[in-house]
Amino acid sequence: MFIKKKEIISLIQGTKTFKNPKIALEQYTIDAESAINIVYHAGVEYDDIQNTVVFDLGAGTGRLSIASAFLGAAKVISIDIDFEALEILLENVINLNLDHVINIVCCDVSTLEIRKNKLMHPKNITTIMNPPFGVKHRFADRIFLKKAFSFSDVVYSIHLLNEKVDRFIKHFASRFNWKVDYSFPFNMKLERTYSFHEKKVKNIDVRIYRFMKN
C-alpha cells in the first residue's frame, strides 16, 4: 500500500480523539503531523517499522499505532489501560480499514507479559510510545520503559526535553543493559484536550529517544 505522507497526516487528523480524557493517566492528544513525523523517522531513517511487529504502549486513541500501520508494520499491538480510549481507537481502526493490522489489548502495562515465540510473526519487535511523563504519578515513565526493554528489539520513547531527565533516562536504560542509540529534540504539538486548556494547540519541547540493547 503506497500512500503519501501528507495523505496519512490528513487521515490521522480526521480520527476521533478522547471523549472523556483522564488527567490521572496524563491523556493528551498528539497532533497528526507530530505522530507521523515521529513514526516516519523510525520507519524511514532506521527501517524499524516496515515488516516488524510494533507495540504501542499507552496507545490512547491510536495515532502512533495508525501511523505505524500506514508505514508498513506487519502487525501493530495497541495497549492501553483505558477501555473508553480503546473503544475510540477501535472505531478509528475500523473506519480506516486497518483492523487486519492493528490488534487492541486492554491491560495495565505493568502486568503485561509478552512471549516472543508466541507472536504470529517471528519478526523484530519495535516499541514506539508516548508514555506518561510522571507528572501525576511519579515514576510512571519508568514502568513503560522497563516493560518495553523486557521484550523489544528497539524502543522509541517520547520524554520531556530536560537535562536532568536526559541523564536519568540514560542511567535507567543502562541498568537493563540498554543504551540510548540516538536522540533528538522535537517540538510536539498537543491538541486541546481538557477544559482548562486555553489554546487550541500547545507546543511542548520533548526529546525522542531510540534505545538499543547493549
Indicate if the pLDDT at residue 195 is higher than 80.
Answer: no
Q: Rounded to two decimals, what is the model's pTM?
A: 0.91
Which residue did the predictor score with more confidence, 197 or 141?
141
Indicate if the pLDDT at residue 24 is higher than 80.
Answer: no
Indicate if the pLDDT at residue 136 is higher than 60.
Answer: no
CATH code at position 186: 3.40.50.150
Question: What are the C-alpha distances in Å from 71 to residues 41, 115, 133, 139?
Answer: 11, 25, 26, 31
| pLDDT level of residue 78 (50, 70, 90 thresholds) | very high
Measured between alpha carbons, how far is 149 from 52 in angstroms, rounded to an integer? Answer: 16
Measured between alpha carbons, how far is 89 from 102 in angstroms, rounded to an integer? Answer: 10
Mark out the alpha helices in the chain (DSSP H runs): 5-13, 32-40, 63-70, 83-95, 140-151, 163-175
In the chain, the number of structural domains is 1
Grid cell for residue 144: 513503560
Closest CA to 57 of 177, 147, 168: 147
Taking the CA atoms of 40, 64, 54 and 178 in sequence, report the sign of the dihedral they define: positive
pLDDT at 93: 97
Provide the domain limits for residue 30: 5-14+23-213
